Chain A
Amino acid sequence: GAVVSQHPSWVICKSGTSVKIECRSLDFQATTMFWYRQFPKQSLMLMATSNEGSKATYEQGVEKDKFLINHASLTLSTLTVTSAHPEDSSFYICSARDRPGGRGEQYFGPGTRLTVT
């Protein structure tokens, strides 16, 4: 149980285009989902917190207009990288926290590798 999927697992796009990454909790409902960014051989940096039915909360330094987050249901959050540039190339990881009454843990997806050419 407690599986989180991400789609796609990897994507290559051209500079200036937009890319959408999906994060799904497959067997539980997640009121809160998180988006992280991981550069090669570095740690995970929290980008934003996504709550179902409300606006995402972004960490300091993260451009909300560039990284659009939508959490439309209790099992799906999406991250859209708009007007992507090569410096946006990174590994994007989502996590989902099960709702109150669950174990309250964060479960992580396998990540999406984005390469912008």
Chain B
Amino acid sequence: AQSVTQLDSHVSVSEGTPVLLRCNYSSSYSPSLFWYVQHPNKGLQLLLKYTSAATLVKGINGFEAEFKKSETSFHLTKPSAHMSDAAEYFCVVSRAGDSSYKLIFGSGTRLLVRP
């Protein structure tokens, strides 16, 4: 079975400083991993995804994540936070090649950006 653990329920950073949102996964199979962002009153938006190609994945809005199999981690980073980055972030796993296409969501991390 697959699962994801987001290690921090809240992360607070100052504008212009780096962002690190941590995610560890568990999967018996080759996983596909995703990061989604949820802004209030808006649908979830895909930031980036890993599907067994390059381990360093670049996404939208300056975010990137690195797949580390040895550490079973897929942490999300951004060099410099903007106020507009304040939102809820979800780490998500699915089984690569799983024809059901089911996504398993982590518990979420709320990112707060201080002026």
Contacts and interface: CB of A to CB of B under 8 A. Distances in A.
Nearest to B102: A46
A93 B105 contact: no
A32 B42 contact: no
Interface stretch (A70-78, A80-88, A106-114): A106-114
B115 interface: no
Contacts of B103: 34, 46, 95, 106
B107 A110 contact: no
A1 B107 CA distance: 28
A59 to B, nearest CB: 9
A54 interface: no
B100 A43 contact: no
Contacts of A95: 44, 103
Nearest to B90: A43
Nearest to B108: A43
A18 B26 CA distance: 38
B101 A42 contact: no
A97 interface: yes
By secondary structure, the A interface counts as: strand
A43 B101 contact: no
A44 interface: yes
B56 interface: no
A42 B109 CA distance: 10
Nearest to B49: A105
Give the interface centre of A34, A57, A104, A106 by most chain B CB atoms within 10 Å. Answer: A106
The 9 closest A-B pairs by CB, nearest first: A108-B44, A108-B43, A110-B43, A43-B105, A44-B105, A43-B107, A43-B108, A109-B43, A97-B101
25 contacts: A32-B101, A34-B102, A41-B108, A42-B108, A43-B90, A43-B105, A44-B44, A44-B90, A45-B105, A46-B102, A46-B103, A46-B104, A49-B100, A49-B102, A57-B100, A93-B43, A93-B44, A97-B101, A104-B101, A105-B46, A105-B49, A107-B43, A108-B44, A109-B43, A110-B42
